[in-house]
Chain A
Amino acid sequence: MNWKLFGPASVLAISLTAVVAHAETIGPQGEAATPSASVTVPDGKVAMLQGGGYKAALLWHDQSDFVNAVTAGASDEFARLGIEVVATTSAGFDAAKQRSDVETAMAKEPDIILSLPLDPVTSAAAFAEARDAGVKLVFLSNLPSDYQHPRDYAAIVTDDLFQMGKQAADALAAAMGNTGTVGWVFHDANYYVTNQRDNAFKATIENNYPDISIVAEQGISDPARAEEIANAMLLKNPDLGGIYVTWAGPAEGVLAALRAAGNTTTRIVTLDLSEPIALDMVRGGNVAAIVADEAYELGRAMAAVGARALVGEDSPPFVVAPAITVSAGTVAEGWMQSLHREAPASLLEAAN
């Protein structure tokens, strides 16, 4: 399950699986989303935090580009506030390991824990000890069962999933001149993150673009089979104007199928940054746009929520980090904005 997918994507969120095409991202308990930009530590409190000798632990579910960017965002914000990061862990999607990681980190007596609870049921016991010790808990995407805001946790922070799907639809429509046929390659699994994004794309095309029709729908569970699936789709619909692919891993397979067929007209849009996909886009290939999340900003917001809780400031229960559309001309900025690092050299060279 180590796809270059979102962290949260591989996590089952039972309470969130009733996937309806909402017009915006909503929280696990129906909370309205608050943009992350509005969650900051008031200037007046910064000095108070800096002298407090506070400590934080980052207990992630896995390792990925996404997690690295969130970690960077959180670490920078903590550093600014004089809060020391005393432990960083990865549970490798193992609920038992997550429980152990919480216990181990507690030996360092952190004041704040940032974590993605692997699933609501098993994490309820895993975080109970930390919660009862008064640690400020900031959760990424998921919520342990029966935890109450703000008594038990400071906030949930996640991506603006609906915006990601919607922006993908907008970008593909623009590349197609708002007309034509589209293939929809969605993630065929019960995953909150991908389901939300895929359905937001579909709903946007259907509701906002009357001259674009989705003529082919194909689920995918194994990214390695993307190329076959794309071949079959193109065989039946040779004049597809565009293809939406649920994330970058399988998009690489779809791109391979288009190249093998000598197809230079069908446009691709996908989610999450990937060097090979972006390279095709920069070189004027099939890829029209990539939609990414602001993972670094997400990490900053998590740290800010935790810090606010320490100084007695409640935060809204459900905070979302914005989505960005990266096109051929904005690769350098997009990489910086999303992952807070330089775009790969190959992209910068190809762009010049």
Chain B
Amino acid sequence: MIMNTDPGSSAVLSLRNIHKRFGGVVAIRDFSMDLGAGEIVALVGDNGAGKSTLVKVISGVFPPSSGSMAMDGNAVSFANSSAARRRGIEVVYQDLALANQQPVYMNLYLGRELRNPRTGLLDRRRMITESEQLVRDLDVNLPNVRARIRDMSGGQRQGVAIARATHFARKLILLDEPTAALGVAETAKVESIIDSLRARGLSILMISHSLDQVFRLADRITVLRRGQQVATRDANGTDKNEIVSMITGLH
């Protein structure tokens, strides 16, 4: 069904023939994909397959060597990550990118702190109120947004990182291994948060090593092997065996 639609016209993000080379090394070769609103796509592949590089190309950290990107049908290219952020793309990094000694609410507004328009000083009260609202909406299990990150568990930290992305993403969230460092219960909690984002109409591109997780969350799965896009499958129309054989190249 997806194959039949006019490629990219209604997609939140569409990638066409993306190549990324570092010197003589080809990291991504001819990658194309459309991502619709409220859709979760999982990006799977072995270490070094090019997944993180692709996330960085989409989020404006690296420019693509060739190929094109469009959002809502309009061609885009990002000079840096701030430009991508301005277009509504947020990233949750594997290493969290949180400032550990600062409170939760300052992390949620990191780099985008709210100011009192009259004094130009930080509007801590509004940041705290809105943070509490956000944490409640996403059902992140945090007792107090004024607590510092260093006093939180891994799951709570990941919750903060995802909450931040959710708050500012208008279009797309890129998740790089969102549960890699978490225990079982915390993983379940983070997965339920991700699942709830679908209802907000956000598109999600997620890198994960856990195929169980991928099948629990993703609508579609796209496989990378040594920079090559092997295939894209509906999650309902495939199984773990097929995906594993595509990842490894063994039959």
Indicate yes or no for A touching B, C-beta below 8 A.
Answer: no
Chain A residues with CB under 8 Å of chain B are none
